[in-house]
Amino acid sequence: MTTAELPRPDYARNMRLLGYSDQGGRPDGVQVMVQSGYAYIGHMFSNGFSVVDVRDPRNPKPVNYIPAPPGTWSLHLQAHEDLLLVINGKNLYLDPLLMDEKVYYSGSMAEKTVSAGTSRGYSAGVRIFDISDRPNPREISFLPIEGVGAHRIWYVGGRWA
């Protein structure tokens, strides 16, 4: 998409749209963290995260996609220096039981999903990636978490997240 083709939003004051990316065909980005010219984007439905080179903001380029384990989403992530922390949790939209809003919004999620006697079929926890090679995250650790997994995370460096 050229700059001339970009929409001119009427709701933005003192801002202008410089570039656009479909995130490698995965437009379901939930959270974006930019580190040294690369955007790391957690996805709602694509079950993983994307890496987009944004060093030229007028021409962002998708450079990598890291899939999550089957049945797992990676909605939220945090980057600092050479570390990227990515949450893993049960992709709740894949569970037929939760398609009924009355069921989804009532009772304990753990009782509806984990205790239902079904096989786990997803990863729950926090994955830690080395992003010193910015376009090529490399998993270096995994912290498992009981239940349906992590949802939010906050990491600004240091020993604790």
Could you give the CA distance from residue 28 to residue 96 in angstroms, rounded to a whole number? Answer: 21
**In the predicted model, is pLDDT for residue 116 greater than 70?**
no
Give the residue-averaged pLDDT of 8-19: 77
**Could you state, in order of their start, the residue ranges of all structural domains in the chain?**
24-144
Q: Does residue 28 or residue 4 have the better pLDDT?
A: 28
DSSP class per residue in 7-33 = ---SS-SS--------TTT---EEEEE
Could you give the CA distance from residue 15 to residue 28 in angstroms, rounded to a whole number? Answer: 23
- What is this structure's pTM? 0.85
Question: How much is the pLDDT for 1?
Answer: 60
| Chain segment 40-66, per-residue pLDDT in tens | 999 988 999 999 999 999 999 999 999
Among 45-54, 79-88, 98-107, whose mean pLDDT is lowest?
98-107
The pLDDT-based confidence of 74 (bands split at 50, 70, 90) is: very high
